[in-house]
Amino acid sequence: MSNSEASNSEASNPPMTNAPVTNAAVTNAAVFRSVYPWLSRTLGRPVGFFSNLGDHTMFYLRALRAMPHAAVRYPKEVVRLIAEISMGAGTLAMIGGTVAIVGFLTMAAGGTLAVQGYSSLGNIGIEALTGFLAAFINVRISAPVVAGIGLAATFGAGVTAQLGAMRINEEVDALETMGIDSVEYLVSTRLMAGLVAITPLYAIAVILSFLASQFVTVALFGQSGGLYNHYFDTFLNPLDLLWSFVQAVAMAIAILLIHTYFGYFASGGPSGVGVAVGNAVRTSLIVVVSVTLLVSLAIYGSNGNFNLSG
C-alpha cells in the first residue's frame, strides 16, 4: 500500500480513541429542564429576576459614579442635552419640548383639581376651601406625579430610542473602540443634564398648576379672589414645596436611569428598540408612583404633617 493510499484510508476511517464525546447541547441543566420542566421554570424565575436586578444595579452605580467626570470632560455635550431636555430638538422645538408638555399636563391637572374640589366641597357648603386643596394636593401629589409622567413620556422615551438606535447601528461599539467610555459619554452626561434641567422645569410646572387652579376657581366659578388666596396662603407650606422638589429630582434620576438602561442594552433591530421603549416607559411609570408613595411615607408619615384650621 502506498503512502497516499494509507493517508486516504486513515482519513476515511479515523482511528478510535478513548476520548469522551462531548455535546454542548446535552448538559446537566438541559437534562434537568427536560426531566423536571415545571420545577425548572419555577426555579428559573427568581434566578432570572435577581440576575436582571444585579445587572440594573451595576449599570446604575457605574453611571452615577461617572457623573462628576462626565461633567468635567464633556461640558458641551451636557449643555446640548440640557437644551434638548428643556426645549426639545428638531420638530419638538416648535412646541417647546418637555417644558411645554409637562407644563400643559400640570396645568390641566391643576384645573381638574379645582373643578372637582369646588363641586365636591360645595356639596357640604365649604367650597371656600378650594384654595386649601390647590395648595395641599398640587404640591404633594398632583404636580410631582404628572411631571414625572410627562418627563418619562417625552425625554425618557426619546433617550431610550436614541441609545437603542446607536446600539443597533454599532455606534456604541465604535465609541468603545475609540477608547471612549460609552456609559460615561452617553448615560452620565444625560443624568447630569437631567439634574440641571429638572429644577426650573418643575418650578414652571408647579407655578402653572397653581395658576390653573386659581383661574378655574376665581374666573370660572366666581369665588372671591381674596377668599381663595387666604386659604391658599394659609395652607401652602414652604417646607412641602422643598420636599416636592426633592421628590421631583428623585423621580428624574430614576426615570433617566431606567430609560438609559433599556436603550443602552437594546437589541433585535428596530423592533427591539420599540420593545425597549415600551418596557422603559412601563417601568418608569411604576417607579414614578412608587417614588411618590415612598417619599410621602418617609416625609409625612401617618399624620400628614398639617392641621386643618383657620
What confidence tens digit (pLDDT) does each residue in 159-173 have? 899 899 999 998 888
Global model pTM greater than 0.85? no
Please report the pLDDT score of residue 261 as a whole number. Answer: 93
- Averaged pLDDT for residues 197-211: 88
- Alpha helical stretches, state H, the chain: 3-12, 28-35, 37-65, 67-73, 75-87, 97-122, 130-137, 143-151, 157-168, 171-177, 182, 189-214, 225-235, 238-264, 269-299
Q: How many angstroms separate the CA atoms of 51 and 280, rounded?
A: 18
Other CB atoms within 10 A of residue 166 CB: 20
Q: Give yes or no for residue 94 having a pLDDT over 70.
A: no
Q: Give yes or no for residue 120 having a pLDDT over 70.
A: yes
Q: How many angstroms separate the CA atoms of 41 and 291, rounded?
A: 31
Please report the pLDDT score of residue 88 as a whole number. Answer: 61
CB 66 within 8 A of CB 260: no
Q: Give yes or no for residue 19 having a pLDDT over 80.
A: no
Please report the pLDDT score of residue 11 as a whole number. Answer: 47
Q: Give yes or no for residue 50 having a pLDDT over 60.
A: yes
- Averaged pLDDT for residues 221-232: 87
- Averaged pLDDT for residues 151-180: 88
Please report the pLDDT score of residue 18 as a whole number. Answer: 47
Please report the pLDDT score of residue 131 as a whole number. Answer: 86
